[in-house]
Amino acid sequence: MTADNLVLIENSTPKSTSLLLKARTHLLETHKTCSIIAPCTHSKTCPLLKTKSPHCLFPNPEPYTPKTAKLLHIQNIHSFTYLILSRNPPPQIPHTTPQTIPGRLIKTPLKRDGHVIMDACMPSGEIERHVVAKRHGKDVYRDARKSVWG
């Protein structure tokens, strides 16, 4: 915890995600000036709760080595879930163009011939599916193919 921010990180399991969602709800209800910095793009009810798998997770780019895991008394963590809150007002969402998605990708983009399918958690508090095709432009299509979830 810093003077203005609170960072919560857990091994990604359904139970830890549930605990973070409860902490998120409690802090937003009890501290009206509190805002979410990441990973959520909003302070509304988590839209993943409406899905079959209400499990928010992110890949660990460098899992702990067995020696480090033993030293830290932890299991090897391949994915994690986190929440960053601030005492300050919510950050401004940068201006977006029609080619950008102002949300956070919640799944690995599905790359198909001629198009990419991306599911994103949006500032509106909903999960939206976006399809980017080659016809949207070479640069936009290339960026969509290179995008990663998280």
Using the predicted structure, report yes or no on whether residue 56 has a pLDDT greater than 80: no
User: Do the Cβ atoms of 55 and 12 come closer than 8 Å?
Assistant: yes
Longest Cα–Cα distance of the chain, Å, equals 52
DSSP annotation string for 48-96 = GGGSS-----EE-SSPPPHHHHHHTT-PPPSEEEEEEEESSPPPPPPP-
- For the whole model, what pTM was predicted? 0.69
Q: What is the pLDDT of residues 116-126, one digit of tens each?
A: 999 988 888 88
Task: Tell me the pLDDT band of 36, cut-offs 50, 70 and 90.
Answer: confident
Q: Within a 10 A sphere around the Cβ of 32, how many other Cβ atoms?
A: 7
